[in-house]
A and B are shown apart, each in its own frame.
Chain A
Amino acid sequence: MTGAASSARPALRDNLFARAFRTKTGAIAGGWLVLLALAAIFAHLLTPYEYDIQQLSAAYSPPSLSHWLGTDEFGRDLLTRILYGARISLSVSVISIGLSVLAGMVLGAAAGYFGGRLDRMITTVIDLSWSFPEILVALILVAIIGPGVTGTMVAITVAYLAQFARLTRAQVMAIKSETFIEAASGLGASHRHILFRHLLPNAITPVLVSGMLATGDAIILEATLGFFGLGAQPPTPSWGAMMSSGTALLFKAPWIIIFPGLAAAITVVSINLFGDALIAGLDVRSRPRVE
C-alpha cells in the first residue's frame, strides 16, 4: 500500500513499541529484554573472559568481584557464559518462533479461507502433530536431524507450528463470515486483497499474543534440549546445558545452576509481560472515540 494508505497508518505502527514502553510493566520488561539483547550482542566487549577458556585453578569460585556470578567446574566465568548463552537462547527462540508463526499463519489462513480438501489435508496433519506434546515432537526431530543449533531451531519451529496454524485457521474462519468480508467481495476485492488486507490483520492479534507467549516457552524448550545435551554443543554455552552441568553440583556450587536458571526465568517473564503491553497497544478499538 502506498500514499494515503500508508500516510495514515504509521501513526499506528510507529507508536506500537513506544506505546508498550510507556506502560510501567512494558518499560521494565522491555528494558530487561533490550539490555539482555545488547549484552548478548556486545558480550565480547563487556567481559574480559572468554566463554571457552578453561582455568581449572579458579574452578567452583563463588561469586566475587573478579567473577561476579562465580565460575563453573572448569573455572569459566559464569556471567560471560550466560551472556554468550543469551545469544543462542534469544536468537534460537525468536527466530524459530518467528518462522513458526509465519508458516503457521500461512497454513492456517489457507486452510481457513479456502476450506474444502486443502483444509482437510492441512488440518489432519496439524491435528496429528498437535496430539503429541511439544517436547516429544522436538525430541523426535532433533533425533532425526541431529543435535545442535539447527536441529533445535527446526524442532522448535515445527513443535509450535500446530498451535499457530490452528489459531489462525479458527480466526480466519470466524472473520470470513463477517459482513465486511462480504462487502469487500461485493465491491470486487480479490482473494489476495481479502486475505492480506482484511483477514490477516484482523486475525493477527491473538496469534501474536500466543507467539509472544510461545517465545518464552521456546526459551525453556531450548534450555530443555540443551539440558539433555541435544541443543548447542559444547563448548558453545547455552542456558540449558549450563544448568545441566550444574545439577551434579547443586550443593557444592549452587550458583552454576541458579544463575542461568534465573536468567531464563526473568527473560521468559519479561517476554510475557512485554507481550501483554504490546497487545494492548495493538488494539485500535482501545483508543478513545474522539481524537
Chain B
Amino acid sequence: MGLLEVDRLSVGIGRLTLLEEITFEVDRGEILGLVGESGSGKSLTALAIAGLLPLIGARVTAGAVRFDDTDLTRLDEYRLRKFRGRRIAFITQNPMTALDPLQPVGEQVDVVARLHLGLPADVARSRTIEILTQLRIPEAATIYRQYPHQLSGGMKQRVVIAMALAGEPDLIVADEPTTALDVTVQAQIIHLLTSLVRERGLALVLITHDMGVVAQCCDRVAVLYAGRLAEQQGVRSLFAAPAHPYTHALIDCIPKDGMARGSLTGIAGSVPSVAHFPSGCRFHPRCIGRQSVCEASVPAATALPGGAVACHFPLNGDARHG
C-alpha cells in the first residue's frame, strides 16, 4: 500500500475528458517522477491530487485519489483544506510568481504553520527561520523580512519549498519546481528536495519534463501522454529498457556525451489537443512502429516487472537497446 494511490483517475472539463484512467502510487521516502511533454496532463494530475481542479473549472469524473486510505475526491472543500498544506503540500510551477508580492516572505511561511499546526506567532517565526536555514538560505533572519522582489529566483524557490514544509506534510507534489531557474540552481533545488525525502521520509511526486532530472533523483517514473499513462517503471529499468515507444523517444531527446553535432532528435509532431485526440493509441500518429491496430483500438495496460505499459507492441529487451 502506498501513501498516495491514484486509482484509474479520470478528469474532465465540460464534456471533454482530459485525463483518462491514470494510475500510480507513491510511498514514504519515495520519489515518483511524472513526465511527459507540455500538454500531456502532468499539472492537471497535480491539481487533481491537491483537489484544486475547481480552480480551473475541471472535475474528477471517475476513479479515486486515496491518501492514507482516505479518498480525497469524495471530500468537500472544507475537509480537503485540512489535508492541503498539512498532509499534502503543493509546490506550484513558477517560483517567480508563487509568492505574494506584498508580504515579507517569512510571514508567508509563518501563516502555513500557524494555520495547520496552530503555532503562536513568535514560535512560528523562529521555526520559519529554522526551516529557511535548513534549506541553506544564508542569513535567514534577514531574508525573513524581505519581499519577494528582493530575492533571486533560487531564493524564492527555497522559500516556496519552506512554505510547503512548514505544515510538516507527508506528501509533496512539486509541479516543475525548477523550470524557471538556471541550471546550477536547478541542481541545488533538486538535491535539496531529494535529501528532504530521504531524511524526513516524505513522499514526493515530482512533475517535470526534464528526463535528466528524472534520471538523477526519481525512484519510479510514470510517463504521461495526451492524458493517458503510457508507461510506469522503476527508474533504472525505464532508462535501461523503455517499453513504450514514447518513453524511448523521450530518452532519445536527452543530449549525451560524445554526440555528433546535429544528431539530437526531437519527436516529430506535437501533443494533440484535447479536442482532437487521435483514435486508438493516442501516440500512434507520431510513433515510428505503428501498425493498423494502433489506430483502431486503445491498448490496455499490460504488466511489466515493477510496472505497466500501455502499448500494442511494447519494445522488448533487444529492441529497447537497439
Chain A residues packing against B (C-beta within 8 Å): 2-5, 8, 178-180, 182-190, 193, 197-198, 201-202, 284-285, 287, 289-291
Alpha-carbon separation in the docked complex, A178 to B95 (Å): 11
Known: A182-B55, A186-B91. 20 other contacts (CB 8 A): A3-B120, A3-B121, A3-B124, A4-B121, A4-B124, A5-B110, A180-B92, A180-B98, A182-B52, A185-B50, A185-B52, A185-B84, A186-B89, A187-B164, A188-B81, A188-B112, A189-B111, A189-B115, A285-B149, A289-B150
Q: In the assembled complex, how far is the CB of residue A105 from the closest CB belonging to chain B, in whole angstroms?
A: 16
**B 45-104 contacts with A by CB, 8 A:** 50, 52, 55, 81-86, 89-94, 97-104
Return chain A residues, CB-CB under 8 Å to B146. Answer: 291
- Residues B163 and A183 in contact, CB atoms below 8 Å apart: yes
**B136 on the A face (CB < 8 A):** no
Alpha-carbon separation in the docked complex, A289 to B150 (Å): 5
By the criterion of a CB under 8 Å from any partner CB, how many residues of chain B are at the interface?
Answer: 44
- Residues B149 and A183 in contact, CB atoms below 8 Å apart: no
- Residues A179 and B98 in contact, CB atoms below 8 Å apart: yes
Q: B145-175 toward A: CB 8 Å interface, digit per residue (1/0)?
A: 1110110000000001001100100000000
Alpha-carbon separation in the docked complex, A5 to B86 (Å): 20
Q: Given A3-B122, A4-B110, A4-B125, check contact A202 B147 (CB 8 Å).
A: no
Alpha-carbon separation in the docked complex, A189 to B125 (Å): 18
Return chain A residues, CB-CB under 8 Å to B160. Answer: 183
Alpha-carbon separation in the docked complex, A5 to B110 (Å): 8
Alpha-carbon separation in the docked complex, A190 to B163 (Å): 16
- Residues A180 and B100 in contact, CB atoms below 8 Å apart: yes
Return chain A residues, CB-CB under 8 Å to B122. Answer: 3-4
Alpha-carbon separation in the docked complex, A284 to B32 (Å): 39
Q: In the assembled complex, how far is the CB of residue A173 from the closest CB belonging to chain B, in whole angstroms?
A: 13
- Residues B101 and A202 in contact, CB atoms below 8 Å apart: yes
Return chain B residues, CB-CB under 8 Å to A180. Answer: 92, 97-101
Alpha-carbon separation in the docked complex, A5 to B137 (Å): 21
- Residues B97 and A178 in contact, CB atoms below 8 Å apart: yes
Provide a sorted-by-A list of 5 A–B residue pairs whose CB atoms are within 8 angstroms: A186-B52, A188-B82, A188-B167, A193-B115, A285-B101
Q: In the assembled complex, how far is the CB of residue B127 from the closest CB belonging to chain A, in whole angstroms?
A: 10
Q: Given A4-B124, A189-B115, A291-B146, check contact A182 B92 (CB 8 Å).
A: yes
- Residues A186 and B85 in contact, CB atoms below 8 Å apart: yes
**B290 on the A face (CB < 8 A):** no
Return chain B residues, CB-CB under 8 Å to A2. Answer: 121
Q: Given A185-B84, A188-B81, A188-B116, check contact A290 B50 (CB 8 Å).
A: no
**B25 on the A face (CB < 8 A):** no
Q: In the assembled complex, how far is the CB of residue B47 from the closest CB belonging to chain A, in whole angstroms?
A: 8
**B107 on the A face (CB < 8 A):** yes
Alpha-carbon separation in the docked complex, A187 to B111 (Å): 10
- Residues A284 and B147 in contact, CB atoms below 8 Å apart: yes
- Residues B121 and A5 in contact, CB atoms below 8 Å apart: yes
Q: In the assembled complex, how far is the CB of residue A203 from the closest CB belonging to chain B, in whole angstroms?
A: 10
**B 281-295 contacts with A by CB, 8 A:** none
Q: Given A2-B121, A187-B89, A188-B81, check contact A289 B163 (CB 8 Å).
A: no
Alpha-carbon separation in the docked complex, A185 to B98 (Å): 11
- Residues B85 and A187 in contact, CB atoms below 8 Å apart: yes
